[in-house]
Amino acid sequence: MSAAVSEKAGDATARTPKATDRFWLQAGSFANEREAENLKAQLALAGWEAAIQSATLPDKSVRYRVRLGPYMSTDELNRAKGDLSKRGVEVAVIKY
């Protein structure tokens, strides 16, 4: 079925990311880990599974990023982003 769909949907491949592309939705970035944990808990209560990723910045400070994903397709990514937006959660798209 997917082969037939792929052949008929020639423009769909233009929207499909490369196999190595991964996308996350970042709901927040905090200097305080507790704030990141609070946002993660709020998302969990709304039915979303998020993770906290820590990152050390060039100035040696640490940021705690609340992210959802990874998403392997732009359709999946856009659907999640739209659902979160309807609930008042603003997110940024992060591509790796």
Q: With pLDDT > 90 as the criterion, what percentage of the chain qualifies?
A: 76
What predicted TM-score, i.e. pTM, was given to this entire model? Answer: 0.76
pLDDT for the residue numbered 7: 34
Domains of the chain: 20-95 (3.30.70.1070)
Query: Are the CB atoms for 94 and 28 separated by under 8 Å?
Result: no
Rounded CA-CA distance 50/73 in Å is 18
Q: Tell me the pLDDT tens digit for each residue of 44-68.
A: 999 999 999 999 999 999 999 999 9
Q: Which residue is associated with the tokens 């940024």?
A: 92
Query: Are the CB atoms for 6 and 80 separated by under 8 Å?
Result: no
